[in-house]
Chains A and B, each alone.
Chain A
Amino acid sequence: MPLASRSYMPAGGPGLRGGGPTLTVLVGVHGSDRARTRRASVTAPSPIRGTGTIDTGAGTTGVDERVMVALGVAPDGVTRRGTANGTKELNRYAVTVFVPDISLTISLRAAVGVRIAEQGVIVLIGRDVLSRMLFVYNGRQGRIDLAF
């Protein structure tokens, strides 16, 4: 089982408490969309790099809507989700999220579109992904461990 650890130093950064359990991510089109663009002899857009947060409060992984627009990916439906700000209707997308630090590729058919770029992140990694992982959050040491 691959294991990855990351420590968050408060000095020079927000630390684990301020910035959350973040990882560098690359967001790209889903494999099915990539195949479609290949058949149409169109170049698939390059993945977009940003920050993802591991979010145990999110049942479904969320991707910033503007990233999906930049990738040219249209929503394939709408879903209702309970959030900390009440129940919302959110766009649903097929998307691939790559986490380079741990060489993890996550292929999602039903991520939800959210507006989170103002918070400095483009992906909220939710419990649909965490259902395949062991995640340990050590607040006192400012460190996380992931096994998957």
Chain B
Amino acid sequence: MEDVRSNVPTGGPRSAASLRQWGPAVDVAVMVHRREAAAVVAAGRAVAPPVAGRAIIDTGSSTTAISFDTAARLRLDPVGEMEVGTGTDIVRAPTFAFSIAFTALETTLDFESAPGLPVARPGQVAIVGRDVLAGALFSYDGPRGVASLEFKGGPPERHA
């Protein structure tokens, strides 16, 4: 796969202040896991439409996660649970199977069991953690207010 690169929109005019306030966010669409979606379609049923929004690129998070609201809108059932360090404490969170399309990167990744969290920020549908960043080059230029994300040589093959 060719290298793909995206400048990361920051939720408003690009500036040091907006990057600091909103964080490095990338446009994504969270969807029912592609394998599950194929099975649902094969059974003649309707698949919940993708949920578009922003995902914060979070080097403090070991795992990618979606918001509870997103999981509910996709009508996802938990497939398990796991302990997640949230930055303020450790919580036990339900996990879900889903896929995330990185809109500007033309890349879709599948997650077999990744947590759902009560993300508070409006418009934020996911957190991109170090499981995804393991296959990426991510740069954060605080003084210039610019961030970029690149899957050099393509994204990692598998995720949680």
Select from chain A the residue with minimum beta-carbon distance to B140. A135
Chain B contacts for A115, CB-based, 8 A? 88-89
- Given A56-B60, A137-B139, A140-B152, residue A124 in contact with residue B87 (CB < 8 A): yes
Check B135 against A86 for contact (C-beta < 8 Å): no
Q: Among the listed A21, A56, A82, A135, which residue makes an inter-chain contact with B120, where contact means beta carbons less than 8 Å apart?
A: A82
Select from chain A the residue with minimum beta-carbon distance to B16. A131
Chain A at the B interface: SS class: mixed
Chain B binder among A27-35, A41-49, A57-65: A57-65
Chain B contacts for A136, CB-based, 8 A? 137-140
Given A16-B130, A17-B133, output 5 extra A-B contacts at Cβ < 8 Å: A57-B23, A57-B87, A58-B87, A127-B142, A137-B136
23 contacts between A and B (CB under 8 A): A18-B62, A20-B59, A54-B59, A54-B60, A56-B58, A56-B59, A57-B58, A59-B23, A81-B88, A83-B88, A85-B88, A85-B117, A87-B120, A115-B89, A124-B60, A127-B142, A131-B16, A131-B142, A131-B143, A132-B143, A133-B142, A134-B142, A139-B134
Residues of B that sit less than 8 Å from A by CB: 16, 19-21, 23-24, 56-62, 65, 84-91, 117-121, 127, 130-131, 133-143, 152-153
